């Protein structure tokens, strides 16, 4: 059970507070690199950009020594409809030529991404490695990108398993698209993901109970069969990210009535399902609410979208624990 390293504020105090919380309320740390790939350096075996190394160093230094480690990387961009941006002096930089014209199944992409994955493994030595994040979104919005991703995934998985046969390697999938929400076609998703099953050691799930909220602005309990489709594949399951707000919000002209009680019920539902079906791990995205970090973001669609996650932490900005944290800690203490 763990959290990502998403701080409540972009300050040393905020990062320290996050570190202390994760050390006290988790036994797994999740690190997600979703801001690009150092494509050119990875292809040619050149030293990685200083920004990459510095972020790696700070992340590795903060992992509690008794924690298991989940690392997630991805060759897809944030919209999951094209090649990931370039990670150079900063994340999410435009791809330099000729990368801006490459598809995911281009030979140079395959070589660079394999080299990058190996560098990540050699540096972090994780217990779990996801080589694609929320990849089934591409199946919905960019079928050609999805087909290219499948080819790339099979290539990377096969090569890495030859060198790391005992390491669980997989991709992550959004559970809402998988069950036919957010525009996903349930039957199409099933068929496409089944084709990838020989190349995943577990099914990573991105689990947010928002799909039905997007449809009509109503907040309802999650369906009782929320995980039925994922379970039907017969693979072990790990929840790589999750969360639900603990207070109401207004986003894109709609109001959503969330409460601490609703969040507590969601955490109880998620962890009871994980316990019953023996999920390998569960990650709640935010450890602590990040209202301060949200307000520091530039105005625009990205900040508005981030409001869905700003209050998904299990501790409030004012350092008060939420009701959901009591449930979380009770499961964490189970043998």
Q: List pLDDT tens digits, range 104-136.
A: 999 999 999 999 999 999 999 999 999 999 999
Task: Tell which residue, 45, 46, 123, 116, has the closest CA to residue 74.
Answer: 116
What's the whole-number mean pLDDT along residues 292-300?
A: 87
Per-residue model confidence (pLDDT) at position 216: 57
11 versus 224: the higher-pLDDT residue is: 11
Q: What was the pLDDT predicted at 233?
A: 97
Q: How confident is the model at residue 218 (pLDDT cuts 50, 70, 90)?
A: low
267 is in which domain, residue-wise?
A: 2-332
- pLDDT higher than threshold 90 for residue 257: no
Give per-residue pLDDT as tens, 225-251. Answer: 899 999 999 999 999 999 999 998 888
pLDDT band, residue 214 (cuts 50/70/90): low
Cα three-residue angle 188-178-327, rounded to 5 degrees: 170
Q: What is the mean pLDDT of residues 149-176?
A: 98
Can you give the CATH number for the domain in which 206 is found? Answer: 3.20.20.80
Average pLDDT over residues 188-200: 96
Q: Tell me the C-alpha distance between 1 and 8, whole Å.
A: 19
Structural domain total, the chain? 1
Supply the mean pLDDT for the chain: 94
Q: Between 53 and 297, where is the model more confident?
A: 53
What pLDDT is recorded for position 222? 79
Average pLDDT for residues 172-197, to the nearest whole number? 93
Average of per-residue pLDDT across 199-210? 93
State yes or no: pLDDT of 333 exceeds 60. Answer: yes
The reported pLDDT for the residue numbered 56 is: 98
What number is the average pLDDT over the span 195-218? 82
pLDDT at position 220 is 74
**8-67, pLDDT tens digit by residue?**
999 999 999 999 999 999 999 999 999 999 999 999 999 999 999 999 999 999 999 999
Q: What is the pLDDT of residue 212?
A: 56
Q: What is the pLDDT of residue 307?
A: 87
Q: What would the mean pLDDT of 200-211 be, rounded to a whole number?
A: 90
In percent, how much of the chain has pLDDT > 70? 97
Q: What is the pLDDT of residue 296?
A: 86
Q: How confident is the model at residue 172 (pLDDT cuts 50, 70, 90)?
A: very high
Q: Which pLDDT belongs to residue 33?
A: 97
- Per residue in 50-104, pLDDT tens? 999 999 999 999 999 999 999 999 999 999 999 999 999 999 999 999 999 999 9
What is the token pair recorded at 248? 């109401």
42, exposed or middle or buried, with CB in 10 Å at 0-12, 13-18, 19+?
A: buried
């Amino acid at each position: 059970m763990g959290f990502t390293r998403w701080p409540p504020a972009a300050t040393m105090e905020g990062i320290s507070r996050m570190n202390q919380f994760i050390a006290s309320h988790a036994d797994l740390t999740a690190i997600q690199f979703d801001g690009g790939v150092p494509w050119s350096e990875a292809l040619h075996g050149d030293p990685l950009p200083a920004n990459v190394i510095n972020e790696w160093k700070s992340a590795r230094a903060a992992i509690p020594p008794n924690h298991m480690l989940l690392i997630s990387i991805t060759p897809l961009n944030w919209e999951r409809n094209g090649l990931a941006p370039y990670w150079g002096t900063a994340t999410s930089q435009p791809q330099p030529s000729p990368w801006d014209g490459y598809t995911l199944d281009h030979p140079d992409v395959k070589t660079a991404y394999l080299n990058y994955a190996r560098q990540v493994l050699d540096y972090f030595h994780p217990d779990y490695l996801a080589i694609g994040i929320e990849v089934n979104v591409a199946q919905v919005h960019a079928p050609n990108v999805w087909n290219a991703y499948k080819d790339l995934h099979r290539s990377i998985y096969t090569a890495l398993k030859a060198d790391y046969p005992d390491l669980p390697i997989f991709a992550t999938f959004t559970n809402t698209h998988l069950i036919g929400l957010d525009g996903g076609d349930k039957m199409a998703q099933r068929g496409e993901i089944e084709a990838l099953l020989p190349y995943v050691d577990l099914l990573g799930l991105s689990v947010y109970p928002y799909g039905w909220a997007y449809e009509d602005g109503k907040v309802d309990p999650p369906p009782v069969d929320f995980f039925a489709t994922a379970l039907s594949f017969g693979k072990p399951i790990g929840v790589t990210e999750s969360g639900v707000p603990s207070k109401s919000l207004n986003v894109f002209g709609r109001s959503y009535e969330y409460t601490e009680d609703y969040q507590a019920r969601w955490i109880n539902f998620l962890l009871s399902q994980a316990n019953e079906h023996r999920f390998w791990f569960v990650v709640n995205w935010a450890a602590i609410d990040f209202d301060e970090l949200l307000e520091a973001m530039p105005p625009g669609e990205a900040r508005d979208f981030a409001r869905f996650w700003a209050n998904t932490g299990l501790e409030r900005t004012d350092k008060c624990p939420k009701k959901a944290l009591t449930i979380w800690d009770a499961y964490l203490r189970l043998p």
